[in-house]
Structure 1
Amino acid sequence: MQWVTEELASGRLHIGDHLPGERTLAETLGVSRNSLREALRILEALGTLHTSTGTGPRSGTIVTAAPEQALSLSLSLQLATRQVEPQDVLQVRLLLEAWAANHSDPARGDWAQPEWILDRMDDETLEVAEFLRLDAEFHVLASRAADNPLISTLMDALRIAIFDHTLSRAQRLPDWGATSARLRREHRGILDALRHGRGEEAADLLETHIRGYYQETAEHSTADEHAVEASRPNA
C-alpha cells in the first residue's frame, strides 16, 4: 500500500496503469504473495485499484483512484455506529451544495444528464426508493458545475448517505405524491438557475429545498410520535 502511494505521488504510476503481476510485485516489495493479495484486496475496497480476471486491456490489476468509494464506506460505518447523525449529514450537505452553487459556472456543467434525471423523476409510477436514488444523483451532478473536484468527490461519497437518510424520512410522509411534486418543481428551479449562471439564487433554492424536506419529515415524525404516545394506556 505504501509502494502504491509513493508511485502515484511520484508520477511513476498513473490512473489507468496496470500493476505488475503478483510474482513480480511480491519480489519487488520483498513480501509474500499472501500479504500482497491482502493489501490488494484492501486497496480495491478503497477504490484505488480494480482487479479483473481474463485477458485483454481491462484484465489484471488497474489503478482506478475512486476516493469517493473509501469515503462513502467510512461515512456509512460512522452512521452505523451513531458517531455521525443524520443532522450532521444535513449540515454538511448545506455547506457543500451552497458553496458549489455559489461557485458554479454554466460552461462547466454537463446539463444533459441532470435534465434526463429530472425527466425520469417526472414518472409518477416511480417507486419512492428509485425517485430518491435519482434525487441523490441529481444533487451530486449539480455540484460538479463548481471547479472543485474535491467538492464533487465529497458529494459523491455522501450519495449513499443522502439516499438512505431521505428514504428513511420519506416513510413518515402521509402524502408522498404531494411531496414528490413539490420536490420536482424545486429541482427544476435549481437546475434553471445553475445552467443560466444564477449561482447565488441556486444556492438559496438549494438551502430552501434541503431544509424544507428535512422540516416536513421532522414535523410528521413529531406528529406520529405524539399519536403513538396518546394511544398508550395510562400507567
Structure 2
Amino acid sequence: MTAAPARAWRLVLERIERDLLEGRFVPGDRLPPERELAAQLGVGRSSVREALRVLEVMGLIRTGTGSGPSSGAIIVATPQGGMSALLRLQVAAHGFPLDDVVRTRLVLESAVVTALAADPDRSTVDARVIVDAMDAGDLTPAEFLALDAQLHLALAEASGNVVIAAMMAGLRTSIESYVLAGAARIPEWDVTSARLRHEHRALLDIIDAGDSVRAGALIHDHISGYYAEAGLARELTPEE
C-alpha cells in the first residue's frame, strides 16, 4: 500500500534525513535512483521527484541528467543556498520583519568581528582585497552594495564559523532588494559610500589590532547607521 500523495514526499525527506544522521550518506554520495527509492518507501516516483526538488532548493543535493559521474542526485550540502531561499521567501511574505533581520545581523556580525579580533591567527587579507575594490570611482550603488555584501561575508568566513557564514549570506540575500531601494533614498550617495569605505577600513584596522570591544561597537554603528539612513529600519540602540 502506497502512502497518501500529500504526505508521500515527506517520507522521502525523512528517510534521507535519517540516513544522513546515521552516516549512511555523506556529501559526495549519490542517492539511490528514483525507482529504487519509490519501491523502498512505497511511494510513487512523482513523490520522490518532489522530495528531490525540495532538497535541491534547500541546497542539500544537486541533480544531473544522463549516466555519467555527475548524473543523478548527489549530496553536496551547500547550506547558503537553502538558507538564502528560505529567508528570502520569509521576508517577502512578511514572516520575518525587517527590523528583526537587522537585529539578527547585528548579533551575528558582532560575534564575527569580536571572534576575529580575539584570534591571534586571524586574517583580513581577503576582506582588504574587497575593500580596495570598493574604492573604484565608477561603481554604481548596486555594484558597491554587492561588494559590501562580499566583504561582510568574507569576515564571517574568516571567523571559521560556517553556520554564521551561511546565516549571514542568507540574511543579506533575503533583503537585497530592500538594501538597494534604500540606497536610492539616500540624497548624497557619494558621501555615504565614502563614509562606509572609511568605516570598513577602520573596522579591519581595529580587528587586526586585536581590539574586540571596539570592533563590536563599530560594526554595530556601521550596520544600524546605514539602515537608519536608508530608511530601512529604525535606529537601534547598542543594547539591541
RMSD (Å), alpha carbons: 2.2
1:40 matches 2:47 = no
Q: Secondary structure at the match of 2:74?
A: strand
Show the counterpart of 1:100: 112
Shift of 1:19: 1.2
1:90 maps to amino acid: V
Show the counterpart of 2:65: 53
Q: 1:201 to 1:2 in 2, by over 3 A?
A: same
Segment drifting more, 136-145 vs 174-183 = 136-145
Q: Which of 75, 86, 99 is the aligned partner of 2:87?
A: 75
1:150-206 Cα distance to aligned partner (Å, 9 max, x none): 222211211213433321211111111111111111111222223443332221111
Shift of 1:108: 5.0
CA distance in 1 between counterparts of 2:99 and 2:114 reads 23
Shift of 1:133: 1.4
Q: Secondary structure at the match of 1:65?
A: coil
CA distance in 2 between counterparts of 1:102 and 1:115 reads 17
Equivalenced residues, count: 219
CA distance in 2 between counterparts of 1:58 and 1:36 reads 19
Shift of 1:6: 0.6
Q: Which runs of 5+ in 2 are unaligned?
A: 1-12, 235-240
1:207 matches 2:220 = yes
2:26 maps to amino acid: H
Show the counterpart of 2:7: none
Contact 1:170/1:217 (CA < 8 Å) preserved in 2?
A: yes
1:1-235 aligned within 5 A: 1-104=13-116, 105=119, 107-109=121-123, 111-218=124-231
Shift of 1:43: 0.9
Contact 1:140/1:155 (CA < 8 Å) preserved in 2?
A: yes
Contact 1:19/1:62 (CA < 8 Å) preserved in 2?
A: yes
CA distance in 1 between counterparts of 2:73 and 2:224 reads 43
2:110 maps to amino acid: A
The alignment-based identity, stated in percent, is 42
CA distance in 1 between counterparts of 2:68 and 2:37 reads 20
CA distance in 2 between counterparts of 1:215 and 1:36 reads 46
CA distance in 2 between counterparts of 1:108 and 1:28 reads 49
TM-score by length of 2: 0.82
Q: 1:40 to 1:108 in 2, by over 3 A?
A: farther
1:120 maps to amino acid: A
CA distance in 2 between counterparts of 1:163 and 1:121 reads 18
1:81-109 Cα distance to aligned partner (Å, 9 max, x none): 22322222211111111122212225254
Shift of 1:139: 1.0
CA distance in 2 between counterparts of 1:80 and 1:180 reads 27
CA distance in 1 between counterparts of 2:172 and 2:70 reads 27
TM-score by length of 1: 0.84
Q: 1:188 to 1:106 in 2, by over 3 A?
A: farther
Contact 2:34/2:48 (CA < 8 Å) preserved in 1?
A: yes
Segment drifting more, 95-104 vs 193-202 = 193-202
